[in-house]
């Protein structure tokens, strides 16, 4: 699959490599998110060197590293290096003599640290002195988000405060999934997003299977022999330290427990003990904490937890609770399970995308009331719920939205019905909703005819799947 997007990330890496005094970059992100591809593209464009660690013994790791350095500094591997300090010191001296300034990328750094716990302290001295004197650019990367974030954020870490660039690599935006998989319209793109999310490796595996969504998910995920059948377990195991103890929380949320008390009851634990495990799952990008629009970020009384990653949501909904059936059954079993769950999964993904696009919608779509801040759902007690609520950046306007999903184009009658239902809800009974200019919006994937408004005593604007995906690029 060709290299997509990552323009902002590439600019930041190029700027890091251009600093005359060198610099340290920390790059992290979940497995399969495209770190290696991004780093390879960077070093190929800049004349740098990419190296990757493994789980070998410390002495073997140093030998492999020295052999990799030999591709840019001739004869570097001919010497024996008894420890990392001597190796890195020799690297800085010879790089300075040859005029090579990197960037030097060390990927999967946590494997090196696991074998040599003192390495972060050695790297601190190297970054502060030898690398700076040589003007050498060093980039440290890893898939263990817990460890890599600790290097950047933990004050007790030797590397704390040393990085001139810290880059958390996120999944690719939804607007690129159609291009990656050669899909023809927004319905196919949203359906693919509901299965694979923004993980490039999943796109790469799905691409040869064509536009048949079920064929791809059946071959790669539902079939017990598929390469992604055990993917979430693998992600948790490969974290450092392993996050396998968090699996019951994901099972609980995936099976429908969304409140803190419900999750605690499902796993047989106390709610007060779940704060840190839930936070770690959020840091891993697997769990999302959802609050009603208008609630403060730190407020938690009405918070809900849900699987945040589309692929993980699909896996914990379809695969995790039906492992025995998938193992014992055949294609008919897999087809039946997918038909039972796929509609809701796609509708949830479409709702997520409709909210995500709001701050990025151009003025031509919703008029001059924006730009808009982040959108959330709103609910309170037994009152009406709104799928999308956002405030304009200037605080003068309020967007109230309804999200509708169908694989068939919406007719004008269907749009009228959705618009009347949205208007009939009135206004949230909150102080933040008073005195605002109201913008009512219905989000639909497809229209039979291109028009901007439904009928009614007030205009209700329409945002289509094409517009949503174009904003999310």
Is 96 a member of any domain?
Answer: yes
Q: What is the CATH number of the domain that holds 33?
A: 3.40.50.300
Q: Same domain, yes or no, for 160 and 107? A: yes
DSSP strand pairing (397-403 vs 386-391):
antiparallel
Question: If you average pLDDT over residues 71-81, what whole number do you get?
Answer: 94
Please give the order of strands across the beta sheet that includes 437-444.
376-378, 386-391, 397-403, 437-444, 461-464
- Residues 210, 127: one domain? no
Indicate the burial class of 119 (C-beta count within 10 angstroms; 0-12, 13-18, 19 or more): buried
DSSP H or E run through 306: strand 304-307
Say yes or no: 128 and 183 in one domain: no
Q: How many domains does the chain have?
A: 3
151 shares a domain with 107: yes
The CA-based dihedral angle spanning residues 147, 128, 93, 109, taken in that order and rounded to the nearest 10 degrees: 0
Q: How confident is the model at residue 458 (pLDDT cuts 50, 70, 90)?
A: low
Least trusted range by pLDDT, from 53-62, 193-202, 231-240, 260-269 = 231-240
d(CA 163, CA 127): 9
Confidence bin at 450 (pLDDT 50/70/90) = low
* Same domain for 113 and 207: no
Q: Would you place residue 449 in the very low, low, confident or very high pLDDT band (cuts 50, 70, 90)? A: low
- Residue 191's pLDDT band (boundaries 50, 70, 90)? very high
pLDDT of residue 156: 86
Nearest in space to 22 (alpha carbons), one of 89, 104, 120, 124: 104
Residues 242, 218 within the same domain: yes
Task: Round to whole Å and give the CA distance between 243 and 254.
Answer: 17
Whether residues 429 and 340 fall in one domain: no
Check whether residue 199 and residue 279 sit in a common domain.
yes
What is d(CA 315, CA 310) in angstroms, rounded to the nearest whole number?
A: 9
- Least confident stretch, 15-24, 196-205, 326-335, 390-399: 15-24
Largest CA-CA distance found in the chain, in angstroms, rounded: 82
- Residue 454 pLDDT: 47
436 Cβ neighbours under 8 A, 6+ residues apart: 391, 396, 397, 398
Q: What is the mean pLDDT of residues 274-284?
A: 91
Mark whether 309 and 410 lie in a shared domain. Answer: no
Whether the predicted pLDDT of 363 surpasses 80? yes
Per-residue pLDDT reduced to its tens digit, 309-341: 999 999 999 999 999 999 999 999 999 999 999
Helical segments of 259-380, H only? 260-267, 275-283, 310-314, 323-328, 331-357, 363-366
Determine the Cα–Cα distance for residues 263 and 271; give it in Å rounded to an integer: 8
Asked if pLDDT for residue 302 goes beyond 90, the answer is: no
349: pLDDT confidence band, cut at 50, 70 and 90? very high
In this model, does residue 289 exceed pLDDT 60?
Answer: yes
pLDDT reported for residue 424: 93
398 in Cβ contact with 434 (< 8 Å): no
Q: Are 58 and 115 in contact (CB under 8 A)?
A: yes
Residues 339 and 380 in one domain: no
Residue 451 confidence (pLDDT): 52
Alpha carbon 451 to its chain centroid, in Å, reads: 34
Average pLDDT score, the chain: 92
Whether 456 has a pLDDT exceeding 70, the answer reads no
Whether residue 439 is contained in a domain is answered as: yes
Q: Do 363 and 254 share a domain, yes or no?
A: no
2 found inside a domain: no
Task: Tell me how far apart the alpha carbons of residues 170 and 190 are, in angstroms, rounded to a whole number.
Answer: 19
Domain C-terminal end among 352, 367, 395 = 352
What is the structure's pLDDT at 150? 81
| Tokens found for residue 214 | 């079920």
List, as own/partner pairs, every contact residues 418-424 make where C-beta atoms lie below 8 angstroms and the sequence separation is at least 24, other chains included: 418/442, 418/444, 418/454, 418/460, 419/454, 419/455, 419/456, 419/460, 420/454, 420/456, 422/460, 423/456, 423/457, 423/458, 423/460
pLDDT score for 87:
97
Residues β-bridged to residue 410: 447
pLDDT tens-digit map of 57-70: 999 999 999 999 99
The backbone torsions φ and ψ at residue 378, rounded to the nearest 5 degrees and listed phi first, read -135, 135
The 10s digit of each residue's pLDDT in 375-427 is 999 999 888 999 999 999 999 999 999 999 999 999 988 999 999 999 999 99
**308, 328, 352 - which closes a domain:** 352
**Cis geometry, peptide bond prior to residue 212 (ω within 30 degrees of 0):** no
What are the angstrom distances between the C-alpha of 234 and each of 237, 247, 281, 443? Answer: 5, 11, 14, 36
Of 288, 317, 352, the one marking the end of a domain is: 352
Q: What tokens does 245 get?
A: 């103890």
- On whether both 163 and 222 belong to a single domain, the answer is no
Angle between helices 260-267 and 247-254 (to 10 degrees): 120
Domain assignment of residue 1, yes or no: no
Report the range of poorest mean pLDDT among 141-155, 215-229, 291-305, 449-463: 449-463
Range of the domain at 364: 358-471
Whose structure tokens read 């990025």?
Answer: 360
Residue 197 is part of a domain; what is its CATH number?
1.10.10.10
Contacts 24+ apart (CB under 8 A), 299-304: 300/260, 302/379, 302/380, 303/259, 303/260, 304/258, 304/259
CA-based nearest residue to 400, from 385, 382, 417: 385
- The pTM score is 0.90
């Amino acid at each position: 699959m060709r290299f997509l997007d990552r323009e902002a990330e590439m600019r930041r890496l190029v700027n890091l490599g251009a600093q005359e005094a060198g610099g340290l970059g920390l790059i992290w992100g979940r497995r399969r998110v495209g770190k290696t591809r991004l780093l390879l593209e960077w070093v190929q464009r800049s004349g740098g060197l990419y190296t990757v660690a493994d789980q070998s013994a410390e002495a073997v790791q140093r030998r492999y590293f020295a052999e990799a350095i030999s591709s840019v500094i001739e004869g570097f591997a001919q010497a024996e290096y008894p420890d990392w300090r001597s190796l890195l010191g020799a690297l800085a001296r010879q790089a300075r003599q040859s005029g090579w300034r990197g960037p030097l990328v060390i990927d999967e750094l946590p494997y090196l640290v696991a074998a040599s716990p003192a390495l972060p302290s050695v790297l601190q001295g190297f970054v502060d002195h030898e690398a700076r004197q040589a003007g050498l650019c060093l980039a440290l990367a890893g898939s263990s988000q817990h460890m890599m974030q600790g290097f950047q954020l933990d004050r007790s870490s030797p590397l704390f405060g040393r990085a001139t660039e810290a880059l958390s690599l996120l999944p690719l935006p939804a607007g690129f999934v159609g291009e990656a998989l050669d899909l023809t319209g927004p319905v196919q793109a949203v359906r693919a997003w509901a299965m694979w999310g923004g993980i490039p490796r999943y796109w790469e595996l799905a691409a040869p299977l064509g536009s048949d969504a079920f064929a791809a998910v059946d071959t790669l995920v539902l079939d017990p022999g598929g390469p992604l059948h055990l993917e979430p377990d693998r992600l948790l195991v490969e974290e450092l330290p392993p996050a396998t103890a968090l699996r019951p929380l994901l099972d609980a949320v995936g099976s429908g427990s969304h409140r803190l008390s419900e999750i605690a009851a499902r796993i047989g634990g106390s709610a007060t003990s779940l704060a840190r495990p839930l936070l770690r799952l959020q840091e891993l990008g697997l769990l999302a904490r959802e609050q009603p629009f208008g609630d403060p970020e730190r407020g938690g009384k009405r918070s809900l937890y849900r699987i945040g990653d589309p692929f993980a949501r699909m896996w914990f909904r379809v695969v995790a609770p039906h492992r025995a059936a998938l193992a014992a059954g055949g294609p008919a079993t897999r087809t039946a399970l997918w038909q039972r769950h796929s509609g809701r999964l796609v509708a949830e993904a479409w709702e997520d995308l409709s909210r995500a696009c709001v701050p990025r919608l151009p003025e031509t779509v919703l008029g001059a009331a924006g730009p808009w801040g982040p959108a959330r759902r709103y609910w309170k007690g037994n009152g009406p719920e709104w799928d999308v609520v956002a405030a304009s950046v200037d605080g003068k306007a309020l967007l109230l939205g309804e999200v509708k999903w169908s694989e068939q184009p919406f007719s004008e009658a269907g749009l009228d019905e959705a618009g009347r239902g949205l208007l009939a809800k009135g206004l949230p009974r909150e102080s933040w909703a008073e005195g605002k200019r109201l913008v009512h919006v219905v989000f639909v994937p497809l229209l039979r005819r291109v028009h901007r408004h439904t009928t009614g005593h007030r205009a209700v604007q329409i945002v289509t799947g094409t517009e949503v995906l174009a904003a999310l690029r």
